[in-house]
Chain A
């Protein structure tokens, strides 16, 4: 946490800032009378769900709201010398100088920020020249910044943007935003597209940067627990206005009912699974914001007073303001669910898990060859990406297996192999003892047809936007599975059945939903439809590929609850893929399932959900656990990995694949590979699990210094 250099001096003051867009439905207010002070030298977290107006706040601070939006109100900025600048009334040229030199911004999509035809060096030079800075000094500063961010300046400067991984690009972007030594850095979801581990690493680096360069940071995010250790104060936004501001150190400081409900809706690693409650209802439309307190339709504490009068932000303590009539009652009525679970209290949906596996995978390998050179590359050795490399897994009836790993570790490819949508290049995938791909080729040894196997294995995709055909109504989409395997049903039967399914998924009135196109549904509703579509095939196993990741935090628990309720009803198993240990814990934990951790194409640890979460054995699982912040933890621990970038999957490290990043790695890890064998059902592929006579215990630790600074790139 940062030291506040000058106590309580405000560097930015926002007064009654309103941003409105004229639409044909009416005036859309995407910021509604926001007033907030930003202290010099602090890190302010701005937290809100999607569509709460938090990104618009960032645009307003830079007076960069796009046409035809209009900004009203007052935003004043205090320079180092004590002058006050009215940002909204600046001339074009003054504004240009203010941006980047005084207030810089880091955007969400680092992928599209860089010009793909220009090397990274060019981006730095361009920025320096555009602001008439001394190029040599500036580049020297850039080198320092890049080194601070664990990047090698010389290598980074000479690469094109596509040669960098997402995390490296985002760090280069942060360096670029600091090149002109601004006083304020506005970051709009700078880590949302990155893996948890990378997110956490960047946050740690940011904390150091903030102290070193004496920055004021406005950090905008949808993930409250993520920023709690980084920030000094947290501002919570709902329905285009700030609901409360509170000191970040302890989340129990929060006094607004919305903040409490939001915190109680987010799965984490310690809270008992029964304590999680989703927030009823949905966020309001910007054209039609409820009168009075905008949260009252969803608030459990709302009274007639809330419906009539909008509470203003009221100071209730040092650094703490809240806009709620009932903030005194919050501790009583909506306590934070932080009690650590004892592992027994959680209600577990007990399925009758059979001994016979539904799907069993034996030494499955999926290798992709890149052959983009066409005829001319005929004589080159093709580059082989080992997406999945020798994985065994058995999935039983009524089982839930959650696969957790960073992006690019092969978890999606592995999942698609499990449901027979991706042909393995080695090993076998069997459905109830019958090889899927042999059956498809007509050489099957069992008596099941391929169509029968196909029916039993279904998929739900990650992106709600592309999981449904935009040109077909929901009722047409949902009739497809029934046409496929129940041809005896006529149109009316199919319709009656899909209406009943929609009803049971909580989408009522079902007739109304059935008659809609996908664009008329919210993301969560689309995912429900995708789940229903999969269930209508009456499958034995559903692959849920990051099925809740794209949803808003408050809706994830809802969706996972629905998945579990329907599992109970239809006797299916789930293979749940997630980059997020908390979601995996929630789904697998409630169903008494397992969590498997994948790293570079291999499963490195597998075991019962609570066991993996509470007692991780592999150093990588421990790192994942570290990257998932606990709501109530106050201790700040050092990063448990020594290199924050993932190695290149084309050329994976020898021996144990995690050894270049592992803090416990010894020499033997670089040459030998540990196996995943164990007598119990908690297996870990690490030499540290081996008995005392294993050579690991006598081997020398790897020299961490050399490993730590080497930056492993995507290009080899």
Chain B
């Protein structure tokens, strides 16, 4: 029976990942074009001294927020209507979103790698690493985790808004939006510290900068709390018919 659940949950995660990754590819593609075209129009080169993963970071958060908001309205009824339990959907959805957050970072990094290669082999300058403060000398895996976790937190926030409206009507949605704003603000405290500058060299936050271990701890605690809350809110939610 456990095998059965695992296989259904895996299928849900895979299917959701396929759909959302399709959207994500469009999203990354469009932002990448903007990234390439922008230096032609903006003269303040300083502010463009960003690697692509850093450039796309804020937009990825919004993208994750949006696909989180779509969660209940686009998928929940569809999956439950096909005999999938809310729990299987919940786990599959969380795994998929985490995969999307990681996928976007990986694709963005690969694109950056290609640009660096172009920069090394040609004299073409914008966005190709010339003059870029691209510091990868630190332990890169941990900032990557923070990057993924903090974008994933926006999915959790979107999901919270989604279930707020879906399960508890307009007032529930309103409360969920307030909750989500507080949630992502806290989450940004975790991801906005000096460690990010270490990797991407882009965030100039004046808010408290947490040391990396604290940042990871804060983000982890927020994610665990957010996911726990979501499970409580979704585990018995009535499915709308329409």
**Pairing of A with B:** no
**Interface residues, chain B, with chain A CB atoms under 8 Å away:** none
